[in-house]
Amino acid sequence: RVERRWLFADQLGPHFLDAPDQPVLLVESKGVFRRRVFHRQKAHLVLSALRHREAEGDDVRLVRAETYAEALTEPVSVCHPTSRAARAFVQRLDGVEMLPPRGFVTAPPDFVAWADGKKQLRLEDFYRFARRQHEVLMDGDEPAGGQWNYDADNREPPPRGTSTLDVPPPPEIREDAIDDEVRADLDRWQHDEGIEFVGNDGPRLFPVTRTEALARLRHFVEHRLAAFGPYEDAMLANDPLMAHSLLSAAINLGLLDPREVVERAERAYRSGAAPLAGVEGFTRQILGWRDFVWHLYWYFEPRYRTANALDARRELPKWFASLDADAVEARCLSDVLAGVRDRGWVHHIPRLMVLGNYAMQRGWRPGAVSDWFHRCFVDGYEWVMTANVIGMSQFADGGRMSTKPYAAGGAYINRMSDYCGGCRYDPKHRTGDDACPYTAGYWSFLARHEEALEGNHRMRQPLRGLRRLDDLDALVEQERARGSRAP
Ligand code: FAD
Ligand code: SF4
């Protein structure tokens, strides 16, 4: 039996080992950073996590090499990696035993058995299947509380009259000597060796060790989970974190097992420490969305990532690609882009309804949008992009995983945030100097795709609204003239 376990940099937690004292091989490959551009803070997290893992284990060998192949000089076993390219690479190697994937709740054969033969793959169906199969939030055969879905209690607009949610922030991360060393290395690579990054460096905001990740999880469940449900879709300009968990980077680095995350949340509900609606909403994200998105990456054919059902062909403008938030006057977009630049993280709704929505409205190429998300976020990995960006946010798969495009005008952003009050645009105006780029973009998107969306019954009402507009020609001309300029 092969003793040493090779851990990729997103497989760092104990659930990737067969025993706590199993010898470990880690590879720090500089070539990875030469091949693709990372957010500077994502590069920091990955290197810091690898080096902390080395410092913490008894028999951990960290090999610094240009490529993985150079570092693999003895037989090892490895858990199924998280990208097709990495899997193909592992399969080509001699002396490497590949085990089934870990780090997700549902096993691939169970997903395939669930999905095969279904006309449409919907999160809600998968989520119920997964809850039953793994007995999460279940009372016998019934969902806890008698309901599968508490969306009606969740998704509130932000509370009025306040600029921040009344929840304690996550415990601060304390950087150490390893972080100093990582920062110095990255500075050198960037300035002396021409390795390129996006985004700004800044104090480390996300866990890189299991201890830090567990502390964040514990604090979230005790102090923030109760407010998660109602405000999970809301945005406040002065409170980018709201009551979100900020756990995605830690879970994706493999520091936390998603099973333990949902178990902790369920325990909070069972002990009366957190309301069911919030616990259900949070469980839906991890056991539902995260697992669903992972399995779809492997289940859909490889060319899914180049799908382009709406024939969107524009490349990303420079201001967007380079996170130039200062070039943008639209308050919501400027603030969210600045969040990406300064933290490599914004929560789900800014990703979907501010960034993704803007890109889809403008007809930007889905593959380019997907590369951008992968590059710019601390929790970005290829497996997450397929379903979230190509499917959910850009509707480039023509509806294989969403019932309708997530396109919305300024009215949605106005309802769900406090951005519009301080903006130079007016969410109600679709033409003129103060026309909100989201409102104008929404109608022009519908006009462009009227035919393609006609058969979709969830789009019937918006298309009826489109046909009632008396200034559509002027609006389309205005959008054409605006071109790819920053709004
Ligand atoms: P919370 O709101 O606290 O949610 C809890 C956890 O649920 C997250 O930590 C995450 O692990 C999981 N989760 C929730 N939704 C999803 C989802 N749709 N897909 C996968 N996991 C989910 N998530 C990433 O982990 N990496 C990405 O690169 C990424 N890119 C995205 C791009 C777009 C366009 C969209 C619409 C979503 C993307 N997401 C991504 C999903 C989601 O936005 C983030 O997981 C979440 O915002 C991370 O913040 P959090 O940890 O505070 O999450
Ligand atoms: Fe964003 Fe439009 Fe509101 Fe301005 S008016 S903040 S651009 S939605």
Pair 338, 432 in one domain: yes
Locate 266 and state its tokens: 């369920």
pLDDT of 58 over the 90 cut:
no
Ligand closest to the CA atom of residue 345:
1
Instruction: Show the domain range for 49.
Output: 5-99
> Are residues 195 and 189 in contact, defined by beta-carbon separation less than 8 angstroms?
yes
Pair 146, 288 in one domain: yes
Query: String of b and e for 130-142 (b: at least 16 CB within 10 Å)?
Result: bbeebebbeeeee
Cα 409 to averaged position of ligand 2 atoms, centre (Å): 9
Domain boundary among 47, 70, 99: 99
Cα 353 to averaged position of ligand 1 atoms, centre (Å): 13
- State how many domains the chain has: 3
User: Average pLDDT, stretch 150-161?
Assistant: 87
Q: Which amino acid is at 131?
A: R
Pairing of strands 142-143, 138-139: antiparallel
Locate 159 and state its tokens: 């509370």
Residue 178 is assigned to a structural domain of this protein:
no
User: Which atom of ligand 2 is nearest to 422's Cα?
Assistant: 6
Residue 185 is assigned to a structural domain of this protein:
no
Pair 334, 399 in one domain: yes
User: Average pLDDT, stretch 311-324?
Assistant: 97
pLDDT of 2 over the 80 cut:
no
Residue 397 is assigned to a structural domain of this protein:
yes
**What CA–CA distances, in Å, run from 386 to 289, 310, 370, 383?**
13, 16, 8, 6
The percentage of residues in the chain with a pLDDT greater than 70, rounded to a whole number, is 100
Tell me, what CATH number does 145's domain have?
1.25.40.80
**Which of 247, 257, 285, 296 maximizes ligand 1 atoms within 8 Å of its Cβ, making it the mutation to test the pocket?**
285
At 152 the pLDDT is 81
Pair 53, 140 in one domain: no
pLDDT of 178 over the 80 cut:
yes
Pair 290, 317 in one domain: no
Residue 186 is assigned to a structural domain of this protein:
no
Cα 104 to averaged position of ligand 2 atoms, centre (Å): 37
At 1 the pLDDT is 58
**Which of 333, 353, 361, 419 maximizes ligand 2 atoms within 8 Å of its Cβ, making it the mutation to test the pocket?**
419
Q: How many CB atoms lie within 10 A of CB 14?
A: 12
Task: Give the confidence band of 154 by pLDDT, cuts at 50, 70, 90.
Answer: confident
Pair 201, 249 in one domain: yes
**Dihedral angle sign, alpha carbons of residues 32, 36, 39, 42:** negative
pLDDT of 320 over the 70 cut:
yes
Pair 393, 358 in one domain: yes
User: Average pLDDT, stretch 138-156?
Assistant: 91
Residue 413 is assigned to a structural domain of this protein:
yes
Residue 421 is assigned to a structural domain of this protein:
yes
Residue 187 is assigned to a structural domain of this protein:
no
Tell me, what CATH number does 92's domain have?
3.40.50.620
Could you identify the residue written with the tokens 């800014």? 350
Task: Give the confidence band of 168 by pLDDT, cuts at 50, 70, 90.
Answer: very high
Pair 291, 372 in one domain: no
State pLDDT tens for residues 439-468.
999 999 999 999 999 999 999 999 999 999
Pair 157, 87 in one domain: no
Task: Give the confidence band of 120 by pLDDT, cuts at 50, 70, 90.
Answer: confident
Nearest CA to ligand 1 atom 15: 285
Task: Give the confidence band of 68 by pLDDT, cuts at 50, 70, 90.
Answer: confident
Residue 79 is assigned to a structural domain of this protein:
yes
State pLDDT tens for residues 335-389.
999 999 999 999 999 999 999 999 999 999 999 999 999 999 999 999 999 999 9
Tell me, what CATH number does 353's domain have?
1.10.579.10
Is 0.95 topped by the overall pTM? yes
Domain boundary among 71, 99, 127: 99
* Average pLDDT of the chain to the nearest whole number: 95
At 94 the pLDDT is 87
At 459 the pLDDT is 94
Domain boundary among 57, 78, 99: 99
Locate 465 and state its tokens: 């609204």
State pLDDT tens for residues 424-442.
999 999 999 999 999 999 9
At 189 the pLDDT is 96
284 within ligand 1 shell (Cβ under 6 A): no
251 within ligand 1 shell (Cβ under 6 A): yes
pLDDT of 102 over the 80 cut:
yes
CA Rg value for the chain:
23
Pair 85, 166 in one domain: no
At 354 the pLDDT is 98
Interface predicted TM-score of the whole assembly (ipTM), two decimals: 0.99
Ligand closest to the CA atom of residue 423:
2
Cα 181 to averaged position of ligand 2 atoms, centre (Å): 41
Pair 268, 311 in one domain: no
Pair 11, 82 in one domain: yes
